[in-house]
């Protein structure tokens, strides 16, 4: 198993010292924002449905100071190219394209929303693997947003900060993501999964103490870089919107699971039998059933029947693989090998086409399941996956 990353709290002093060495004075503060895994509820967020993410112990740690001259200097210990220098009041979407677009986009989105945010010096370091479907991008945005919220005394709530971060990613970076990742990073609490209603961003913290049940949640990073920008996401999104339109609802969240069968029949009547219509029916079936799976997992967690959630996770994977069709051979192999190795359940998580999977295992069997996955990958000729334990950790905070 990959060794746990040092807690944000432990690296705060080092990140502050790096800031001082870089900019020649001490930062005003240190902020941390975590990556996330989503336990269940995939491609449901933009359908105004439900998701159930947890924050990872892996975080972006940012040392930040406010600057009142409008200069924005951005530096990441994890990115090549040194300090990126911009001007807060002349940022333009998609002008840059590199990693700095994420934090710069947050400044832009805050200013677009009418907040009097000027410059800042930022230095950050992250333990969230980038491009692994664990939302390093949202962690980067939320750490920046929270720091600016404090330094410029904006008084924004966690959901408001998440929406700003999402706007930055959608309209400045140019990635059409939903709001789950930013909400997870901003609002998760340690020892809980976040039941998020993506319609109104209302949340319920659902207790999840896996070790008390003798269980453990593994994250398996396949090392296959996902590409959300390649049109597949937009295509699924458009298909869901077409399905909602044909069913006469604003979003697929408004189709109750109990009416799924009749809704699919109505879609057949409305859209006919062609391949595009068949696609829309598959997408609708995935979204409506995954919203229902979120409810089922929450009921099981509330009832203390955590083991039974494993089967629901696996069902979710089958739906993502066969109906939404966003899995890939590596993700399918994680699920297959983990289950053959004794896991209670497993599914791909995040946008798909690579990235990571979550695996629910008996704590005593965790190492064996991880080994079974590694062996299966070696036998298939895939790169060695990175496996680590996901403990439900704290959301964004000032250290
Ligand atoms: P994910 O959010 O699943 O990790 P994305 O493709 O959405 O994947 O975001 C990854 C991008 O975020 C990277 O390509 C990089 O631009 C930026 N990023 C993530 N972590 C860092 C970091 N530590 N330093 C600089 N940029 C980062
Ligand atoms: Mg991302």
Cα 185 from Cα 59, distance rounded (Å):
9
Task: Looking at the structure, tell me whether residues 153 and 265 fall in a common domain.
Answer: no
Strand, helix or coil at 87?
Answer: strand
pLDDT value for 227: 66
Could you say which DSSP state residue 341 is in? T
Kindly report the pTM of this predicted structure: 0.95
Residue 143 falls inside a structural domain: yes
For residue 137, give its domain range. Answer: 8-205
Task: State in Å: Cα 174 to ligand 1 middle.
Answer: 13
Residues 6+ away with beta carbon under 8 Å from 75: 22, 82, 83, 84, 122, 123, 124
Model pLDDT, residue 5: 82
Instruction: Write down the pLDDT at residue 228.
Output: 55
Both 230 and 376 in a single domain?
Answer: yes
Residue 131 CA to ligand 1 centre (angstroms): 6
pLDDT, one tens digit for every residue, the chain (399 residues)? 777 888 888 999 999 999 999 999 999 999 999 999 999 999 999 999 999 999 999 999 999 999 999 999 999 999 999 999 999 999 998 655 699 999 999 999 999 999 999 999 999 999 999 989 999 999 999 999 999 999 999 999 999 999 999 999 999 999 888 999 999 999 999 999 999 999 999 999 999 999 999 999 999 999 998 765 568 988 999 999 999 999 999 999 999 999 999 999 999 999 999 999 999 999 999 999 999 999 999 999 999 999 999 999 999 999 999 999 999 999 999 999 999 999 999 999 998 999 999 999 999 999 999 999 999 999 999 999 999 999 999 999 999
Nearest protein Cα to ligand 1, atom 27: 99
Out of 134, 136, 331, mutate this one to test ligand 1's pocket (max ligand atoms within 8 Å of CB): namely 136
Distance CA 230, CA 232 (A): 6
| Distance from C-alpha of 292 to C-alpha of 159, rounded to nearest angstrom | 24
Q: Is residue 2 part of a domain?
A: no
Residues 71 and 168 in one domain: yes
Q: Of the residues 144, 177, 205, which one is the last residue of a structural domain?
A: 205
Q: Which helix (H) or strand (E) holds 186?
A: helix 180-187
Are 110 and 60 in a shared domain?
yes
Q: Structurally, how many domains does the chain consist of?
A: 2
DSSP secondary structure of 234-269 = HHHHHHHHHHHHHHT-SSGGGS-GGGHHHHHHHHHH
Q: Which residues line ligand 1 (CB under 6 A)?
A: 76, 78-79, 99, 102, 126, 130-137, 140
Give the integer Cα–Cα distance in Å for 70 and 114: 16
Active site residues: 181
Q: Within this chain, do residues 146 and 275 fall inside the same structural domain, yes or no?
A: no
Q: What CATH number is associated with residue 126?
A: 3.30.230.10
Which pLDDT value is given to residue 165?
98
Atom index in ligand 1 nearest the CA of residue 128 equals 20
Least Cα distance to 49 among 255, 348, 346, 232 occurs for 255
Last residue in a domain, options 205, 224, 250: 205
Provide the pLDDT for residue 95.
57
Domain end position, chosen among 174, 205, 236: 205
Ligand 1, residues 8, 137, 224: which to mutate, most atoms within 8 A of Cβ? 137
* 1, part of any domain: no
| pLDDT given for residue 231 in this prediction | 85
Both tokens of residue 18?
Answer: 């790096």
């Amino acid at each position: 198993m990959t060794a746990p990353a040092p807690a944000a709290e432990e690296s705060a002093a080092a990140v502050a010292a790096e800031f001082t060495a870089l900019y020649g004075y001490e930062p005003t503060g240190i902020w941390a924002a975590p990556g996330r895994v989503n336990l269940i509820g995939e491609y449901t967020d933009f359908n105004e449905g439900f998701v159930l993410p947890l924050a990872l112990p892996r975080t972006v740690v940012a040392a930040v100071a406010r600057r009142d001259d409008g200069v924005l200097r951005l530096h990441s210990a994890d990115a090549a190219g040194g300090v990126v220098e911009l001007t807060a009041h002349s940022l333009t979407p998609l002008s840059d394209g590199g990693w700095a677009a994420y934090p710069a986009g947050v400044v832009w989105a805050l200013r677009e929303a009418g907040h009097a945010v000027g410059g800042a010096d930022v230095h950050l370091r992250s333990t969230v693997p980038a491009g692994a479907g664990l939302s390093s991008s949202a962690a980067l945005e939320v750490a920046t947003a929270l720091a600016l919220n404090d330094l410029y005394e904006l008084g924004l709530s966690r959901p408001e900060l998440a929406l700003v971060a999402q706007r930055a990613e959608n309209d400045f970076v140019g990635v059409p993501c939903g709001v789950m990742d930013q909400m997870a990073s901003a609002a998760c609490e340690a020892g809980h999964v976040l039941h998020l209603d993506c319609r109104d961003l209302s949340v319920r913290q659902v207790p999840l103490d896996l070790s008390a049940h003798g269980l453990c949640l593994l994250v398996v990073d396949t090392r296959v870089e996902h590409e959300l920008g390649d049109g597949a996401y937009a295509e699924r999104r458009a298909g869901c919107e077409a399905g909602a339109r044909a069913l006469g609802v604003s979003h697929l969240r408004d189709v109750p699971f109990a009416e799924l069968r009749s809704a699919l029949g109505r879609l057949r009547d409305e859209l006919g039998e062609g391949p595009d219509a068949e696609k829309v029916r598959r997408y609708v079936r995935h979204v409506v059933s995954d919203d229902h799976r979120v409810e089922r997992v929450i009921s099981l967690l509330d009832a203390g029947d955590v083991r039974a959630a494993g089967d629901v996770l696996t069902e979710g994977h089958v739906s993502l693989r066969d109906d939404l069709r966003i899995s890939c051979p590596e993700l399918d192999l994680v699920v297959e090998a983990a289950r053959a190795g004794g896991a209670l359940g497993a599914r791909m998580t995040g946008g798909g086409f690579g990235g990571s999977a979550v695996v629910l295992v008996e704590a005593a069997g965790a190492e064996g399941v991880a080994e079974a996955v590694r062996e299966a990958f070696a036998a298939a000729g895939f790169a060695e996956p990175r496996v680590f334990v996901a403990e439900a950790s704290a959301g964004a905070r000032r250290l």
